[in-house]
Structure 1
Amino acid sequence: MDGENLQERAAARTQDLPGAELTHPFGDDWDVYKVRGKVFMLQTAVLGQPIVILKATPSDGLALRTAYEDITPGYHMNKRHWITLHPDGALDPLFVDDLVTESYLLVVENLPKNQRPVDPEVFGQHA
């Protein structure tokens, strides 16, 4: 998936995440996606290459970085809790959707219960 498609796919996924909003607190070069004021995804370009930065548990982040060349530690973020997705590799679009959703749910589960737009324990599960 090339860089534009990677960022477009990740951004499109946020449309289905309740309470997700796009902000630009760092200027027009950074798309920052938040839920209830907390960041769950960032998009920018590094050396002309579009990237997507997502939250991950430390164990998941390590496993993903080990398994995929296109996933590295979070650019300008805590390297244990954030990952960076790079384009032009083997990242499947549905896998990108899952990573965006997981990042969102990691943030939601740390919100006070009365501020959660969804229940992270059951969001996305079908009856």
Structure 2
Amino acid sequence: MGNKLFAAICYGENGKKILTVKCEPEFGIYLRENYSDITLGYYMNKVHWNSFDLNGNVPEMIIKDMIEQSINWY
């Protein structure tokens, strides 16, 4: 992983904790179309980064897939 950024925890509106991870663009589109709690990357490039509320309704399996893809991006 070196010095590469693969995830960031941000604070959104009303102090909401948001995790932002890097994904393949097509996977990101699929996620946003199928999970309302996944949005374009908060404070990041909207092509490769996607965000979700850590207290939202994203299934754990999807979160793990997103993080794994982000770590293995490089």
Q: Which TM-score tier does this pair reach, normalised by the shorter chain?
A: 0.7 to 0.9
Count of residues in correspondence between the two structures:
73
Aligned residues with identical type, % of pairs: 32
CA distance in structure 1 between the aligned counterparts of 2:63 and 2:30, rounded to whole angstroms = 15
Q: Does 1:42 align with 2:8?
A: yes
Q: Contact conserved, 1:70 with 1:87, CA < 8 A, in 2?
A: no
Say which structure, 1 or 2, has more relative contact order (CA 8 Å, 6+ apart): 2
Q: 1:92 aligns with which of 41, 45, 59?
A: 59
Q: Contact conserved, 1:61 with 1:81, CA < 8 A, in 2?
A: yes
RMSD value, Cα:
1.2
- Structure with higher Rg: it is 1
Q: Secondary structure at the match of 2:5?
A: strand
The TM-score with structure 2 as length reference comes to 0.88
Name stretches of at least 5 consecutive residues in structure 1 with no aligned partner: 1-34, 108-127
Runs of 4+ in structure 1 off by over 4 angstroms are none
Deviation, structure 1 residue 91 = 1.2
Q: Secondary structure at the match of 1:42?
A: strand
